[in-house]
């Protein structure tokens, strides 16, 4: 995932989670008391509008991530479980969010409870997926650099063999025809 897309995902997810958590605090803990019971906090509608607006952007972003990030990385088992759990939670949050707008009575209550509990827990799921990314990121060669490996390095007795070149995470590889002049650069890093 590109740095810009990653930052967009982090920024929108953070604003979405904070706006939802703020709405919960306003709704459950800061409702002004009246003689007829607690009244809605005056900031609830504004915070909910921000949450809904960001949610639309995040649903669009989830489609983009599914098409790009998830499809490309599904073959690698390293973070598949945390990604699948995070994606499933996002799907349930989208469905329960729509249920809050378009249902009433029992379905609305179930949707609200699901959305609130899973929404708060989504922070833990997102941080777990991110932490695994951060932990593994330091154990690989940056994907922007090519490095030549010592496999099949030409020697003076074998000048026409191929030299293996790997890009970044080692998932892509290609071969370059090697000559005796390239043998001396087999252990250097290309930019």
What is the Cα–Cα distance from 64 to 143, expressed in whole angstroms?
21
For tokens 């409870």, what's the residue? 113
Residue with tokens 């649903």: 59
- Percent with pLDDT over 90 in the chain: 35
Contact by Cβ (8 Å): 126, 86:
yes
In DSSP terms, which residues pair with 163 in a beta bridge?
176
- Give, as one character, the DSSP assignment of residue 40: P
Give long-range contacts, CB 8 A cutoff, 24+ apart: 45-52: 47/19, 47/22, 47/23, 48/23, 50/15, 50/19, 51/16, 51/19, 51/20, 51/23
Say what the pTM is. Answer: 0.63
Q: At what angle do helices 105-137 and 3-28 cross, to 10 degrees?
A: 140
The pLDDT, as a whole number, for residue 69 is 79
pLDDT over 60 at 186, yes or no:
no
Residues 166-178 have pLDDT tens digits of 444 444 444 444 4
> Could you give the CA distance from residue 77 to residue 65 in angstroms, rounded to a whole number?
17
Least confident stretch, 25-39, 81-95, 119-133, 172-186:
172-186
What per-residue confidence (pLDDT) applies to 68?
Answer: 77
Task: Say what the pLDDT of residue 151 is.
Answer: 52
pLDDT for 22 beyond 60: yes
Tell me the pLDDT of the chain averaged across its residues.
76
- pLDDT tens sequence across 35-61: 998 898 999 999 999 999 999 999 998
β-bridge pairing 146-148 and 189-190: antiparallel
Confidence of residue 180 (pLDDT cuts 50, 70, 90): very low
Q: Can you give the pLDDT at residue 86? A: 86
Return the minimum-mean-pLDDT range out of 22-36, 53-67, 99-113, 141-155: 141-155
pLDDT band, residue 152 (cuts 50/70/90)? low
Region of poorest pLDDT, from 6-10, 81-85, 92-96: 81-85
pLDDT over 60 (residue 147) = no
> Hey, what long-range contacts does 175-182 have (CB within 8 A, 24 or more apart)?
178/152, 178/153, 178/154, 179/154, 180/154, 180/156, 182/154
Residue 150 neighbours by CB under 8 Å, 6+ apart? 186, 187
Burial class (CB in 10 A: 0-12, 13-18, 19+), 93: buried
Long-range CB contacts (< 8 A, 24+ apart) of 157-163?
Answer: 159/183
The share of the chain scoring above pLDDT 70, in percent, equals 69
Nearest to 17 by CA among 127, 179, 158: 127
């Amino acid at each position: 995932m590109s740095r810009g897309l990653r930052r967009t995902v982090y920024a929108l997810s953070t604003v979405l989670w904070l706006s939802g958590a703020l709405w919960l605090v306003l709704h459950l803990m800061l409702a002004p008391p009246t003689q007829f019971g607690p009244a809605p906090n005056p900031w609830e509608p504004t915070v909910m509008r921000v949450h809904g607006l960001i949610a639309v952007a995040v649903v669009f972003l989830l489609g983009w991530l599914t098409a790009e990030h998830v499809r490309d990385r599904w073959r690698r088992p390293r973070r598949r479980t945390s990604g699948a759990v995070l994606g499933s939670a996002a799907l349930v949050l989208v469905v329960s969010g729509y249920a809050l707008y378009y249902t009433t009575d029992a379905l609305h209550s179930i949707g609200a409870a699901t959305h609130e509990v899973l929404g708060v827990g989504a922070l833990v799921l997102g941080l777990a997926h991110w932490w695994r990314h951060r932990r593994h990121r330091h154990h690989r060669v940056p994907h922007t650099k090519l490095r030549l490996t010592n496999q099949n390095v030409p020697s003076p007795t074998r000048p026409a063999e191929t030299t293996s070149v790997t890009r970044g995470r080692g998932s892509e590889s290609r071969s370059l025809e090697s000559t005796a002049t390239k043998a001396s650069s087999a252990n250097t890093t290309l930019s």
